[in-house]
Amino acid sequence: MELPVDHLEQDRVAGLLPSPDPIQLIDENGAVTSGDVAGVYELPPVQTLAEAYRRMVVGRRFDAEATALTRQGRLAVYPSSKGQEACQVGGVLALAEQDWLFPTYRDTMSLVMRGVDPVDALGLLRGDWHCGYDPMKERIAPQCTPLATHAPHAAGLAYAARRRGEDAVALAFIGDGGTSEGDFHEALNFAAVFNAPAVFLVQNNRYAISVPLSRQTAAPSLAYKGIGYGIRSEQIDGNDVAAVLAVLSEAMSHARSGHGPMLIEAHTYRIEAHTNADDAGRYRDPSETAMWVPRDPISRLERYLTGVGALDDQAVRRVQDEAEAFAEELRSRMGADPAVRPEEMFSHVLAEPTAQLRAQRETVRELVMRGD
Amino acid sequence: MELPVDHLEQDRVAGLLPSPDPIQLIDENGAVTSGDVAGVYELPPVQTLAEAYRRMVVGRRFDAEATALTRQGRLAVYPSSKGQEACQVGGVLALAEQDWLFPTYRDTMSLVMRGVDPVDALGLLRGDWHCGYDPMKERIAPQCTPLATHAPHAAGLAYAARRRGEDAVALAFIGDGGTSEGDFHEALNFAAVFNAPAVFLVQNNRYAISVPLSRQTAAPSLAYKGIGYGIRSEQIDGNDVAAVLAVLSEAMSHARSGHGPMLIEAHTYRIEAHTNADDAGRYRDPSETAMWVPRDPISRLERYLTGVGALDDQAVRRVQDEAEAFAEELRSRMGADPAVRPEEMFSHVLAEPTAQLRAQRETVRELVMRGD
Amino acid sequence: MAVSMVQALNAALRDAMRADDSVVVFGEDVGALGGVFRVTDGLTADFGEERCFDTPLAESGIVGFATGMAMRGFRPVVEMQFDAFAYPAFEQVASHVAKMRNRTRGSVTVPIVIRIPYGGGIGGVEHHSDSSESHYAHIPGLKVATPATVDDAYSLLREAIDDPDPVVFMEPKGLYWSKAEVALPARTAPFGHALSRREGSDVTLVAYGPTVPVALEAAEAAAENGKEVEVIDLRTLVPYDEAAVTKSVSTTGRCVVISEATGFAGIAGEIAAQVQRACFYSLAAPVHRVTGFDIPYPPPMHEQHYLPGVDRVLDAIEQLEWD
Amino acid sequence: MAVSMVQALNAALRDAMRADDSVVVFGEDVGALGGVFRVTDGLTADFGEERCFDTPLAESGIVGFATGMAMRGFRPVVEMQFDAFAYPAFEQVASHVAKMRNRTRGSVTVPIVIRIPYGGGIGGVEHHSDSSESHYAHIPGLKVATPATVDDAYSLLREAIDDPDPVVFMEPKGLYWSKAEVALPARTAPFGHALSRREGSDVTLVAYGPTVPVALEAAEAAAENGKEVEVIDLRTLVPYDEAAVTKSVSTTGRCVVISEATGFAGIAGEIAAQVQRACFYSLAAPVHRVTGFDIPYPPPMHEQHYLPGVDRVLDAIEQLEWD
Ligand SMILES: Cc1ncc(C[n+]2csc(CCOP(=O)(O)OP(=O)(O)O)c2C)c(N)n1
Ligand SMILES: Cc1ncc(C[n+]2csc(CCOP(=O)(O)OP(=O)(O)O)c2C)c(N)n1
Ligand SMILES: [Mg+2]
Ligand SMILES: [Mg+2]
């Protein structure tokens, strides 16, 4: 007699495991590859890729400008996503209007690429308020700093949206380091058990500040975590925006059509230090970073688009000009100190301030009036 | 050019995944099966199985007596492990003298089967102190109640032992419910990254109090969680003590010889309610429990041992007599209230009580003297 | 009809679920089992799996999932099975639930109720009798409610569920089976209003949750010695009704704060600190505290010596400089 | 030689590692990077990967792993990168680290040091400036130390590592770069001994960690108005040196407690509650508290208005009934 455990269909197991090698659709020379062994994923249409190109160029320029703003003391700190543009842009291009994004501190570029006013998007890092944009309006959760803690929120929101009959998917960004936190585990498990339409995109940029991936996990790759939750998983070349778009689109429609969550690991690399305040020289060799330059997500797409005739020098210059103008406007708008009202500290603690909070606000008001 | 991700050897992946069906060596009719498709695991010697039989019979009798003691008000509560004897006994038989056990509240039987005085082992549940035995002497961590929190301890202790050149392995018991906690995830990850000689034995008894396995996970089976940490995994028929012994012994020597942790899922069933205070009728059908009766770990082993001529009626009676005597002695020793010293509450808070603690102890002493 | 606190809580959940479709109840064992204390008894049967359901065993996940659901319009009422088992959710509570409104300038609100059975006196083994209310009270952005009576159990829980802010709802498990003649639905005073449970002009006992009956019993005993004791039940620790406590102590000139939690750096210290400041010129004696000792909650056979009992309260009253 | 607090802490770790092979340092980024604040700078290089190493990014795992290592004879010193990032480890700290000795009648001890940079004033974005010392002080079984000076940073950390009990070692990150002329190894007073940082007979300021320099500055300013202010630096919150505070306030008759943490239900309330009781007849005025407000720590551009500064301390002193 058999044990009353579900007799395991090996198909099911195979269906949950990622491709043994990362999915790649366009290689670093800009050539279409047969990186998708299974043949599940289709190369996105050229217009989509052209749009991705445009956004990646503007996004990278935004990122450089934000780093520059830290040198001018305009931002408290900035965690760059240079080198991760394919995920930042591919991630938001895969979203429908009604979908939600759950970003981390590193994903400011993706916010901007989804249309958030860059000044608002930089609110957290500028320091006038914790979250500078309206999450409900943008359908973007506040950027999350305590690692992996937003992952259960994404699961919960996705489930709630489905319960409300909304056709929305929640996409959560998470770092390789973040996957080690208990909340990552609990989030994936909840998403799977409640069949929530949530997609978890791990941007494996090979470092958690200074800690290399090898200290983070002994798994064959992070995508192998999915099967432990019964979650379909995939790993991709995270610097190939075509692969990001193709696999993410599939993941979104997998989730949207009621098949539950999906886990995607994007292999990429953090080109800059952890933030402007970090000194990457302490823990990694420049030669390692140099290895990733030829894998750049923008240059390979540029080659591909040029190759298929969808991009010429003039178009490249147009995009660069757009990026420059974008940066210039940002720089000028960030040039002045934002107005802050010290009493606002007390305005959003509770729906109605308690008597104690009102008294404390009064203390601050008086001190400010006295000029202290 | 390839991504600089480790090119994945499919052998490595296969080596981490569990057997597609639970390993079973003796079926419920007492017949040797070919349950181990891979042929990795050997049927333990008959003397070992005979010893396991003896302990399972005594263990079950102990368990029944403990439940009886709750009815007499001698224990605050008792979580029975009836039906899980193969894990309780197989688990400790696989341990060497120097190894450590990390049990939960459900695993009192295993403590006793490892040689802890049953009265001491019942200390927690009797309520005269939190842990009634000396963990350092027994090499058994205090039974853990906050779920999965002992799993990182097992990883840390195992790593520490290896660092000290000790040849010790840490075996942690955990429930199916416990695998959902973040600490389970973090423990497995730490164990793998630090190559700690720790073995995690999930006693999947299909319920976490009232919550069925299907609400706990959507994974093909819990053993599929291992690969996400790069941990070799196995699933077994948890009611077949031969399989428990064979796979656990392999896991222990895998860990002991420096190959790192292993995860084993034992499919079993909690025959009784969660504790004596629980009403299982609220959430499961007696017919389900009935299905597990023929899978009983003791009767199948009895049949096997009888079949191979290692057990006869007389021997069975001898073991039963031993169990009866064991229970009787326990009953009589538990018959009186243990002596408690109220001031002991203050004795072990810190190495040296602070002035405040001394003053508070004085308060209690006075109250007790006044007879309040 | 005599109603137990468990029944009142159950009724509050039912009525709230009936009144508002967005109220959902979830946690460990809250479904078919009805919770280990039966507070959610019958909710799945009556409202369906969608409205009351079991989750995987992971408290941080439960609170985090609730946060996400609240962001999309639900009002989750989640159960932590015992007080110490809420600790895994501490980060979610402190870094998100308490802060979400603030972080987002009021755009994202998470009106979650986190129900936590707390306190001792039920013979529970370790980790089953903690009192963690001071931790939650110390985290800005949370409200903390705790009923001591059956009608308040109903009323405060209804209010907690309706409240636009997240509420940590601490249920004194030692009083779960206490009964009172109450007609439900009962509505008592709102959040932030302490109630006097007994009038008295000589000394003020400030209590909440499990220590209210202790205070009342001590007051009875003190009355036999000619001392008229006022008993104030705080009902909510946040908002804290400073005015009510100040008013009472200004009259009585004496104050004892009673709390089951470890005394050091706990809520009882806060109350004492506020009273001595607000009532400095009225106090005939310093404010005393009768609390749990600064030790881990002891095993069942010791707990009678740990809990702040009537004798310790009477001793404290005695010490309040009566001559 | 002028030594910074970071350097003193680093030296303490080094000297402790040299003195005792069982001392190991681990956490996030403590290896090659030397910690985001460089407190562990060079330890891996000098003592090897075995003695100072990076871990996976999981604070509960770090503390749990440390617990297991301590059970087998190591003395782990673990770093939580920022205060709010210790919250995921709350259950391990509260339910195991603090209780292990007690649970096992002293058989299993876990002499772990949990280093936590805390407090604000460095322009950090949200979740980087919390002050959670009151939570730890409220958990029996833990010691809680927090240096305010460079020599104490060294001395208290050495003592913490040698201590047989688990110690939560709160490092005031706003003072990390403060410097003093100190010859290391420096040994100051032991745990449980508050130190007077300035003598004065009119009023006692009780401070610790980041608020000690604030208190000293306020004392200077008050001196110009003819008020002689004593400044007491607690150094350890647990054990708490009640005797020293009582002695001072008995003389001065006035007391202000200063703490950066949210005031409500925090450690400052404990101190005020103890002082009013112990010094009831000496107090000329109620004990005042100057603390962080009961709000989440604000964004960088607001923090100057949140932190208890010199002006608020002087205002509090002014209110202490001087006529
Ligand atoms: C719970 C928690 N612990 C620690 C930190 C401090 N910290 C901020 S970023 C970071 C590294 C994160 O690495 P990863 O998840 O790989 O994301 P990446 O920064 O590479 O995008 C750490 C340790 C934090 N923010 N939250
Ligand atoms: C952190 C935590 N949450 C909740 C509980 C309450 N609780 C005790 S046992 C239990 C079910 C555990 O199920 P499982 O892990 O499957 O072990 P089993 O009891 O079946 O052996 C629960 C929820 C707990 N002890 N710890
Ligand atoms: Mg990373
Ligand atoms: Mg179970």
- Three-class secondary structure of residue D246 per DSSP: helix
What local confidence, expressed as pLDDT, does residue D143 receive?
98
B318 is catalytic: no
Token reading at A282? 């302490």
Q: Are B289 and B352 members of one domain?
A: no
Q: Is A175 in the pocket of ligand 1 (CB under 6 A)?
A: yes
Q: Are B85 and B202 members of one domain?
A: yes
What is the Rg, in whole angstroms, of the alpha carbon atoms belonging to chain C? Answer: 19
Q: Decide if D150 contacts D180 (C-beta within 8 A).
A: yes
Q: Decide if D170 contacts D142 (C-beta within 8 A).
A: no
Test B218 with A229 for CB contact under 8 angstroms: yes
Count CA within 13 A, CB hemisphere, residue B144: 27
Q: Is A212 in the pocket of ligand 1 (CB under 6 A)?
A: no
Residue C143 has pLDDT above 50, yes or no: yes
- Three-class secondary structure of residue A348 per DSSP: coil
What local confidence, expressed as pLDDT, does residue B371 receive?
83
Residue range(s) occupied by CATH 3.40.50.920 in chain D: 195-318
Test A157 with C60 for CB contact under 8 angstroms: no
Q: Which residue has the tokens 């392995």?
A: B169
Residue B10 has pLDDT above 60, yes or no: yes
The rounded mean pLDDT for chain B is: 95
What local confidence, expressed as pLDDT, does residue D321 receive?
83
Test C32 with B367 for CB contact under 8 angstroms: no
Mutate which of B207, B209, B272 for ligand 2? The one with the most ligand atoms within 8 Å of its CB, which is: B209
Interface test with D, best of B136, B145, B157 (most D CBs within 10 A): B157
> Maximum Cα–Cα distance for chain C, whole Å?
64
Q: What is the pLDDT of residues D129-164, one digit of tens each?
A: 999 999 999 999 999 999 999 999 999 999 999 999
Cα–Cα distance for residue pair B161/A299, rounded to 1 Å: 51
| CB-CB neighbors (< 8 A) of B349 in chain D | 101-102, 140-141
Q: Are B47 and B162 members of one domain?
A: yes
Q: Is B150 in the pocket of ligand 2 (CB under 6 A)?
A: no
Q: Are B166 and B306 members of one domain?
A: yes
Residue A1 forms part of a structural domain: no
Chains touching B, CB cut-off 8 Å, 3+ pairs: A, C, D
What are the angstrom distances between the C-alpha of C253 and each of A20, A354, C280, D7? Answer: 76, 26, 9, 52
Is the Cα dihedral B180, B182, B183, B185 positive or negative?
A: positive
Q: Decide if A323 contacts A315 (C-beta within 8 A).
A: no
Residue B3 forms part of a structural domain: no
Token reading at C108? 């994202």
- Three-class secondary structure of residue D161 per DSSP: helix
Residue B143 forms part of a structural domain: yes
Token reading at C116? 């936590």
Q: Decide if A18 contacts A234 (C-beta within 8 A).
A: yes
Residue B313 forms part of a structural domain: yes
Token reading at B277? 């205070």
Cα–Cα distance for residue pair C204/C249, rounded to 1 Å: 6
Percent of chain D with pLDDT over 90: 99
What local confidence, expressed as pLDDT, does residue A37 receive?
59
Residue B2 forms part of a structural domain: no
Domain that holds residue A327: 8-340
Cα–Cα distance for residue pair C157/C163, rounded to 1 Å: 10
Q: Which residue has the tokens 């209230």?
A: B337
What local confidence, expressed as pLDDT, does residue B345 receive?
98
Quick one: pLDDT band at residue D322, thresholds 50, 70, 90?
A: confident
Q: Are B108 and B132 members of one domain?
A: yes
* Burial class of residue A8 in the structure, from the number of CB atoms within 10 Å of its CB (0-12 exposed, 13-18 middle, 19+ buried): middle
Test C71 with A347 for CB contact under 8 angstroms: no
CATH number of the structural domain spanning residue A72: 3.40.50.970
Going by C-alpha positions, the residue among D116, D158, D170, D169 that lies closest to residue D20 is: D158
> Which one of the ligands is nearest to A148 CA?
1
Test C56 with B209 for CB contact under 8 angstroms: no
Edge-to-edge strand ranges of the sheet holding C195-198: C195-198, C229-233, C203-207, C255-262, C288-292
Cα–Cα distance for residue pair A124/C103, rounded to 1 Å: 9
Q: Is A237 in the pocket of ligand 1 (CB under 6 A)?
A: no
What is the Rg, in whole angstroms, of the alpha carbon atoms belonging to chain A? Answer: 22
B283 is catalytic: yes
Token reading at C102? 């603030």
Cα–Cα distance for residue pair D201/B236, rounded to 1 Å: 75
**Per-residue model confidence as pLDDT tens for chain A (372 residues):** 345 555 556 788 999 999 999 999 999 999 998 755 567 899 999 999 999 999 999 999 999 999 999 999 999 999 999 999 999 999 999 999 999 999 999 999 999 999 999 999 999 999 999 999 999 999 999 999 999 999 999 999 999 999 999 999 999 999 999 999 999 999 999 999 999 999 999 999 999 999 999 999 999 999 999 999 999 999 999 999 999 999 999 999 999 999 999 999 999 999 999 999 999 999 999 999 999 999 999 999 999 999 999 999 999 999 999 999 999 999 999 999 899 999 999 999 999 999 999 999 999 999 999 986
Three-state SS letters, chain C:
CEEEHHHHHHHHHHHHHHHCCCEEEEECCCCCCCCCCCCCCCHHHHHCCCCEEECCCCHHHHHHHHHHHHHCCCEEEEECCCHHHHHHHHHHHHHHHCCHHHHCCCCCCCCCEEEEEECCCCCCCCCCCCCCHHHHHCCCCCEEECCCCHHHHHHHHHHHHHCCCCEEEEEEHHHCCCEEECCCCCCCCCCCCCEEEECCCCEEEEECCCHHHHHHHHHHHHHHCCCCEEEEECCEEECCCHHHHHHHHHHHCCEEEEEEEECCCCHHHHHHHHHHHHCCCCCCCCCEEEEECCCCCCCHHHHHHHCCCHHHHHHHHHCCCCC
Q: Are A277 and A354 members of one domain?
A: no
Q: Decide if B193 contacts A217 (C-beta within 8 A).
A: yes
| CB-CB neighbors (< 8 A) of C60 in chain D | 88
Q: How far is A17 from chain B (nearest CA, A)?
A: 10
Going by C-alpha positions, the residue among B330, B334, B342 that lies closest to residue B366 is: B342
Cα–Cα distance for residue pair B20/B11, rounded to 1 Å: 16
Ligand 4 centre from B269 Cα, in Å? 8
Q: Is A177 in the pocket of ligand 1 (CB under 6 A)?
A: yes
D138 near C CB under 8 A: yes
What are the angstrom distances between the C-alpha of A226 and each of A18, A240, A363, C63? Answer: 8, 22, 52, 22
Mutate which of D81, D82, D126, D127 for ligand 1? The one with the most ligand atoms within 8 Å of its CB, which is: D81
Chains touching A, CB cut-off 8 Å, 3+ pairs: B, C, D
Please provide residue A253's backbone torsions phi and psi, each rounded to the nearest 5 degrees: -75, -30
Least CB–CB distance from B20: residue in A10, A181, A193: A10
Token reading at A122? 């930089």
Query: Which run of H or of E encompasses B196?
Result: none
Test A76 with D124 for CB contact under 8 angstroms: yes
Q: Are A52 and A101 members of one domain?
A: yes
Q: Are A277 and A365 members of one domain?
A: no
Q: Is C57 in the pocket of ligand 2 (CB under 6 A)?
A: yes
Q: Is A147 in the pocket of ligand 1 (CB under 6 A)?
A: yes
Test B125 with C125 for CB contact under 8 angstroms: yes
Q: Are A359 and A332 members of one domain?
A: no
190-229 in D: which are within 8 Å (CB) of B?
192
Residue B247 forms part of a structural domain: yes
Q: What is the pLDDT of residues B82-108, one digit of tens each?
A: 999 999 999 999 999 999 999 999 999
Q: Decide if A345 contacts A357 (C-beta within 8 A).
A: no
Test B351 with D91 for CB contact under 8 angstroms: no
Count the residues in chain C: 323
Q: Are B333 and B346 members of one domain?
A: no
ipTM (interface predicted TM): 0.98
Mutate which of D55, D57, D82, D90 for ligand 1? The one with the most ligand atoms within 8 Å of its CB, which is: D57
Least CB–CB distance from B3: residue in A7, A237, A260: A237
Q: What is the pLDDT of residues C179-196, one digit of tens each?
A: 999 999 999 999 999 999
Which atom from ligand 2 is nearest to the alpha carbon of B270?
A: 20
D22 near B CB under 8 A: no
| Shortest-distance Cα residue to atom 11 of ligand 1 | A208
Please provide residue C148's backbone torsions phi and psi, each rounded to the nearest 5 degrees: -120, -15
Quick one: pLDDT band at residue B2, thresholds 50, 70, 90?
A: very low
189-208 in C: which are within 8 Å (CB) of D?
none
**Helices (H) then strands (E): counts for chain B:** 15, 7
Q: Is A354 in the pocket of ligand 1 (CB under 6 A)?
A: no
Cα–Cα distance for residue pair D68/D86, rounded to 1 Å: 18
Q: Which residue has the tokens 């192998």?
A: A224
Ligand 1 centre from C66 Cα, in Å? 23
Quick one: pLDDT band at residue B38, thresholds 50, 70, 90?
A: low
Q: Is A176 in the pocket of ligand 1 (CB under 6 A)?
A: yes
Q: What is the pLDDT of residues C258-275, one digit of tens each?
A: 999 999 999 999 999 999
- What b-and-e string marks burial along B74-105, b requiring 16 or more CB atoms within 10 Å of the CB? bbbbbbbbbbbbbbbbbbbbbbeeebbbbbbb
The DSSP bridge pattern shows strands D167-172 and A262-267 to be unpaired
Token reading at B253? 């020597």
Cα–Cα distance for residue pair C153/C150, rounded to 1 Å: 5
Assigned fold of D195-318: Rossmann fold (3.40.50)
Least CB–CB distance from A136: residue in C92, C96, C108: C108
What local confidence, expressed as pLDDT, does residue B1 receive?
37
Q: Are A249 and A298 members of one domain?
A: yes
- Cβ count within 10 A of residue D211: 33
Q: Are A367 and A277 members of one domain?
A: no
Quick one: pLDDT band at residue D258, thresholds 50, 70, 90?
A: very high
Q: Which residues contact A9 (CB under 8 A, 6 or more apart)?
A: none
D45 near A CB under 8 A: no
Quick one: pLDDT band at residue B364, thresholds 50, 70, 90?
A: very high
How many distinct structural domains can be found in chain A? 2
Is the Cα dihedral A244, A249, A255, A259 positive or negative?
A: negative
Token reading at B91? 């688990």
Percent of chain C with pLDDT over 90: 99
| Shortest-distance Cα residue to atom 20 of ligand 1 | A208
Least CB–CB distance from D125: residue in A76, A209, A338: A76
Which one from A54, A126, A162, A270 is the annotated catalytic residue? A270
In CATH terms, D2-181 corresponds, of 3.20.20.70, 3.90.1210.10, 3.40.50.970, 3.30.420.40, to 3.40.50.970
Least CB–CB distance from A180: residue in B17, B186, B224: B186
Average pLDDT over residues D277-283: 97
Residue C317 has pLDDT above 50, yes or no: yes
**Helices (H) then strands (E): counts for chain A:** 15, 7
Average pLDDT over residues D110-117: 98
Residue A2 forms part of a structural domain: no
